[in-house]
Amino acid sequence: MMFRIRELCRPLSPGAQCRPGQPRFEGPLGAAIETGRTRLLVLGGLFFLAFALVGGRLVDVTLLKPAADPKRNVARAAADPDAAREFFRGEIADAKGELLATNIVTWSLYADPKMILDPAATAARLVRLFPELDRKELAEKLKPSDKRFVWLRRHLTPKEYQEVIAEGLPGIGARKDRRRVYPHGSLGAHVVGYADIDNHGIAGVERQFDGRLKRGERIQLSLDLRVQHVLREELAAAVKRHHAIGAMGVILDVHTGETKALVSLPEFDPHEPGRASEEGRFNRVTLGTYEMGSTFKILNTAMALDSSVATLTKVYDARFPLKHGKFTINDYHGKGRALSVTEIFQFSSNIGSAKMAIEAGTPRQRAFMGRAGMLKPVSIELPEIGAPLYPRDWKPLNTITISYGHGISVTPLHLAAAVAGIVNDGKRAPVTLVKRDPKEPIPYVPVVNSKTSAEMRQLMRLVVEKGTGKRAEAPGYFVGGKTGTADKSAGKKGYRRNTRISSFVAAFPMNAPRYVVLVMIDEPKASADTPEATGGAVAAPVVREVVLKAAPLLGVLPAENTSELTDEKRPGQKAPAKPPAKPAAKPAPPAAGRLERAATE
């Protein structure tokens, strides 16, 4: 077929210059050539764009973004779930930057069953390297199958990795992995929690912030590891000394709500949580709920003073047991006389506390407990949070028992947070485990007014100076607090004898409170040194040692004058208390429905 060339030079567009030597064809051939030329230009442009994108990505990956960029980790995890083990999981640190959880690079052993020449022989050689492996089970895994990947052993040590490589076993390999490690072991384990073998958060902060940690974010807590160590050591010593089954303690910053230390005993090793007992993994401070006993009288007294139902000098008759229906309320160490509100608190009178609560009334008591945070879970950054137990139908009998810490169960953290609010000029800061930004405002919740806060600080100081908490005195730190010794509940059967929780909640320094310390010892045993194993005998000395050792670490130095309240300034002691003209009740013998010794001190 012949094609005629129309011209050797033709302008490409009107007014353009001619390009010599560029033939132009007419007819079908000319159209085909023009189409091909256009396609080549488009294809070339696409190739250029593709190479430009690849080059740009290489520059971005190698020069612009760090190796542990969180966004790259997320994208890679979405594309390959198995690859998530190789990313950098974010670190957890304390308030001073000390690492509580981090990662190390390891190698994990795997097999490709289709590449195994002799499953039995290969299994035998691997068992020689790793005796803990089951030979029969391993040989079964290595048999040819549709699977091309089987895990054999995770997180090899460098020595184990070298030994495996030296064996040169066909079908056996190792891939890079990352293992979560906790440099301080069990110290702070109930707060930090732990992650599983695939680096998924299972408990504690590891679970609470799992998403952020997987993105490579660093979580800085408010815990001070030095203070955590002090509290743990003192609690452990008390458990050993008093043959207790456990203990719990917490230290809060009253201004910020930051948790400086949180200890629950027994504890566990976060590297091997599966070997720990259920009791060891249980966080008593945030998850366990308990009847707090006489430490709750801080709340009852604050309610009565804040509502103007009572004053520090007001007198209540505490000569005789208080009878309500078939129940009788007694004092553990009764004075057998009328007591002022100051003395009711100082001597921990159940009768006086109950009468104050009755006078205040059930609606006022319930409203105050809600304001103090006792009726809902504490908002703290942990998944292990216990909900308070309180009567839905709040009856007068409940009002009486709640006045001295029974008939309502809360976590230790509930009590510590409420006391922090009462001594902090009546303003309660939300409790947090995360270090606060000093520039961010704190959403305080009002609990009591300033006058009531000042009066409660005086009363708490008096308990340490002249009351049941004398053993908590730490020279120079103006410790104030309240003791509590509560028999443990047996449900509908009442209370179990000799299975008590002894506690002491304190604040210091009481002239300008900075920190609250709560110590609780679970089932301490009586001994020659502590014949009653009460809060004043068991828990108060622990608070003393904690304050003396932890206060300097927290920046609180001792003052020279260890007693800032003179006798003339003692609340409620301007005149001796006089009994009323007529007794409110006659002496009553123990009744069949008598309340068990639910609260002492």
Tokens of 50: 């593709």
Distance CA 578, CA 375 (A): 37
Report d(CA 224, CA 173) in Å as an integer: 43
Reply yes or no on whether 294 is catalytic: yes
Q: Cα(306)–Cα(302) distance, rounded to whole angstroms?
A: 6
Q: Is the dihedral of CA 553, 554, 559, 563 positive or negative?
A: negative
Which two three-digit tokens encode residue 589? 């013998």
Distance of alpha carbon 107 from alpha carbon 174, whole angstroms? 6
CB 549 within 8 A of CB 474: no
Helices 396-403 & 297-306, crossing angle to 10 degrees?
A: 110
- What is the C-alpha separation between 92 and 214, in angstroms, rounded? 12
- Cβ atoms of 107 and 177 closer than 8 Å: yes
Torsion of CA 365, 369, 372, 377, to 10 degrees: 180
Backbone angles phi, psi at 310, to 5 degrees: -135, 160
DSSP 567: G
Out of 294, 348, 409, 453, pick the active-site residue.
Answer: 294
CA-to-CA distance for 349 and 227, rounded, in angstroms?
34
Q: How far apart are CA 543 and CA 535, in angstroms?
A: 11
Pairing of strands 92-93, 219-220: parallel
CB proximity list for 162: less than 8 A, separation 6 or greater: none
Q: Which helix (H) or strand (E) holds 166?
A: helix 158-167
The Cα 248–Cα 239 span in angstroms is 10
Q: CA separation (Å) from 66 to 2, 62, 91, 294, 348?
A: 65, 8, 16, 56, 61
3-class DSSP state of 249: strand
d(CA 104, CA 116): 30
What region does 565 belong to: left with phi over 0, alpha with psi -120 to 50, or beta? beta
Beta strands 24-25 and 99-111, pairing class: unpaired
Q: Please tell me the distance from the alpha carbon of residue 301 to that of residue 305, in angstroms, as a whole number.
A: 6
Amino acid of residue 365: Q
Q: In whole angstroms, give the CA distance from residue 226 to residue 212.
A: 26
Q: What interhelical angle do 396-403 and 362-371 show, nearest 10?
A: 50
- Active-site amino acid positions: 294
